[in-house]
Chain A
Amino acid sequence: DVKVTQSSRYLVKRTGEKVFLECVQDMDHENMFWYRQDPGLGLRLIYFSYDVKMKEKGDIPEGYSVSREKKERFSLILESASTNQTSMYLCASSWASFDEQYFGPGTRLTVT
């Protein structure tokens, strides 16, 4: 079974803090994705990566950066957290970029 894990289920941070969200997958997938999910807005793609050290901007990259130093690990970084980044963050991975994605359990981030 494919397993995607995320470092925290719940996280509370203060405005201006640097926040790291980590995602690890165990199926040797090439592609990894970071989404945020908000009521009424659905899933929105922040960044994705199709290979180690490669990254592509998604639909809402502003205020975020990513790092992929190893194939199995994809990190999302909030350089200076703001209250409008309070959200559910979901990581996913897939064999091919257009193929089914396997999601992690999500991290609910609250920025106060």
Chain B
Amino acid sequence: QKEVEQDPGPLSVPEGAIVSLNCTYSNSAFQYFMWYRQYSRKGPELLMYTYSSGNKEDGRFTAQVDKSSKYISLFIRDSQPSDSATYLCAMSAAGAQKLVFGQGTRLTINP
């Protein structure tokens, strides 16, 4: 079993829809949770960063962490065609040598 599980999709939704992207993990020591967005033929860029549990909101994006369920989510409100990208979750424990990435979910927003 992988340490971090993420449905690779692809996921296709109409413009304006609310998108929910999710990752589950098995390591209860994880405390740092990130979402990266990667456009085609580009490197990933950090979108959201959350420490421990709770919600974080930035514009149309909301990141949620539920440590009791070992589950993290990224919500995109009023989705736009420009949100079409691959979204990768990543997480780590304090003092860890590296991040652990999910496989990435390919998202397409249709005009």
The CA-CA distance from A42 to B102 in the complex, in Å, is 7
Q: Which of A50, A56, A90, A100 contacts B49 (CB 8 A)?
A: A100
Q: Which of B32, B36, B41, B88 contacts A106 (CB 8 A)?
A: B41
A45 CB contacts on chain B under 8 angstroms = 98
Is B101 a contact partner of A43 (Cβ separation < 8 A)?
A: yes
Bits for B79-98, please: 1 = Cβ < 8 Å to A, else 0: 00000000010101111111
B96 CB contacts on chain A under 8 angstroms = 97-98
**In the complex with contacts A42-B102, A42-B104, A98-B94 CB distance below 8 A:** yes
**Chain A residues touching B, range:** 20 to 34
* A-B pairs with beta carbons under 8 A, tally: 57
Q: Which of A43, A56, A98, A106 contacts B95 (CB 8 A)?
A: A98
**Chain A residues within 8 Å of B, Cβ to Cβ:** 4, 33, 40-43, 45, 48, 50, 56, 58, 90, 92, 97-106, 108
**In the complex with contacts A100-B49, A102-B46, A108-B41 CB distance below 8 A:** yes
Is A42 a contact partner of B88 (Cβ separation < 8 A)?
A: yes
Is A43 a contact partner of B88 (Cβ separation < 8 A)?
A: yes
Interface assignment of B59: CB less than 8 Å from any CB of chain A: no
* Chain A nearest CB, measured from B33 CB (Å): 10
